[in-house]
Amino acid sequence: MEDLETECITSIKEIFFNFGENYFNEKNVTQLRHALQCSYLAEEENSTSALITACLLHDIGHLINKNACSSIELGIDAEHEEKAVEFLAPWFCDHVLFPIRWHVPAKRYLTGTDVGYFSLLSKASIRSLEVQEDHSPGKKLLNLNKFHILQMR
Ligand SMILES: [Fe+2]
């Protein structure tokens, strides 16, 4: 019987090996490349190993959901951040899971408060933000979208 660490590494490697080359409504960045870019940037910022790990795995919820692409196209929030946390919870502590769970509300907050941040989002990222529901406790405050941003300009 393999230990927990081996099980974790084997499972994650298998997911990236099988689905990492998928494009997610974006034609120039694969899921694996996106994960590596995020973790690289976190490392460059001297982030903790937990945050670097969270950056690497934050969108794994898209990879374990066979219908992720069609969900977004159909306007359905597949709650990939929650799926990721459920999947990773047996192996990782809250220092890794918390940023993963909150990366969608954090993106929503940043798009609502930082026009420069919003302007850097890809079309796919904007589309996913439109579809993803805001489950945060302060959702009325944070529930700003691109239309609010455009009105603020
Ligand atoms: Fe995400």
What pLDDT score was predicted for residue 136?
52
The three-state secondary structure class of 28 is: coil
Give pLDDT, residue 41.
97
pLDDT per residue as tens digits for the range 62-103: 999 877 666 777 777 888 999 999 999 999 999 999 999 999
CB 80 within 8 A of CB 31: no
Domain 4-152: which CATH number of 1.10.260.40, 3.30.1330.20, 3.20.20.140, 1.10.3210.10: 1.10.3210.10
23: β partners: 30
CA atoms of 61 and 136, how far apart (whole Å): 18
CA of 9 to the centre of ligand 1 (A): 21
30 DSSP β-pair partners: 23
CA of 23 to the centre of ligand 1 (A): 13
Q: Ligand 1 centroid vs 10 CA: distance in angstroms?
A: 22
Q: 8: which 2 tokens?
A: 């974790």
The Å distance, Cα 6 to ligand 1 centre, comes to 25
> What global pTM score does this model have?
0.81
Q: Are 145 and 130 in contact (CB under 8 A)?
A: yes
